Amino acid sequence: MPNRSRPSTTPRIHEIASDLRTRIDEGEFAAGSKLPSTRELTEQYDISAQAIARVVSLLKADGVVEGRQGAGVFVRAWRPLVYRPQSEFRRKPPTVDIFTSLLESEGRDGSQTIEVETRLPNEAVRQRLQLPEGEPVAVRRRTSYVDNQEPFATDDSYVPLKLVEGSEWMTPGSVDRGTNQVLAELGCKLVRALDEMYIRMPRPDEVKRLKLPAGTPIAELISTGHDRNGRPVQVTSCILPGDRHVVVYERVAPGEEGE
């Protein structure tokens, strides 16, 4: 007797997931709102609860919804922070660092934790700083928190230890006037930066540090700052979760810069 298996529900599951995405995009379910319960969705789509669970798993993996323990499934809120890499070189009060300036421009509240350590750099950092093997670097590891005090981004800076050892750059916590100003006072003023942007899925340590929901891609901005002599002085790696940021670059035609 031939083995008769039930038709696969996989195509139907993808159809339902697509329909729910459309309903979310069109505003039927607003950001932060709760999706209908499993029972309601099984009735709406005439499919089993097990199939609805697979639909929700697809939406979670795509970063469209998130589960909250004991509360249900919610549409992920989208209130990104506008990140402007070029703001590093703009004039601002000497007592306002880049992170504080960014929050103020967006009307947001936030805080940050900063840890300082010394170590041997990985190969990517070593090559960008053009260091010989075995030369240590100083590292400032910053985790930024915005609005609801969840981790919002990370920002890790690497500088040859010999340039900053014993200076305020090595102070744990925030430096009011900014560490770039400290570098300038040490004779290492940053006047040019080479930015590299990588869009990828996060590594396990990044997921843990930023408490990233499943399916959240990140942008990694690696900026190598150079002094007036063209010497690479600092490498900064910023990890920006895709559900929390918009990266904005401003470009001006040569000769058209404003005063």
pLDDT digits (tens, 9 = 90+) for 92-134: 554 445 666 677 777 777 888 999 999 999 999 999 999 999 9
Q: Which residues of 158-172 are buried (b: 16+ CB within 10 A; e: fewer)?
A: bbbbebbeebebbee
- Residues 90 and 17 reside in one and the same domain: no
Mean pLDDT of all residues in 174-196: 91
SS3 at position 232:
strand
The CB density around residue 65, as the number of other CB atoms within 10 Å, is 25
Range in 70-74, 133-137, 138-142 with the lowest mean pLDDT = 70-74
The pTM (predicted TM-score) of the whole model is 0.72
* Cα–Cα distance measured from residue 202 to residue 70, given in angstroms and rounded to the nearest whole number: 27
Q: What percent of the chain has pLDDT over 90?
A: 58
Sequence-separated (6 or more) residues with CB below 8 Å from residue 89: 190, 193
Q: What's the CATH number where 169 sits? A: 3.40.1410.10
- Residues 125 and 203 reside in one and the same domain: yes
Point out the domain boundary residue: 75, 100, 118: 75
Q: pLDDT at position 243, please?
A: 82
- Residues 182 and 89 reside in one and the same domain: yes
SS3 at position 17:
helix
Using pLDDT thresholds of 50, 70 and 90, give the confidence band for residue 157: very high
Structural domain span for residue 89:
81-247
Range in 61-75, 94-108, 134-148 with the lowest mean pLDDT = 94-108
What's the whole-number average pLDDT of the chain? Answer: 86
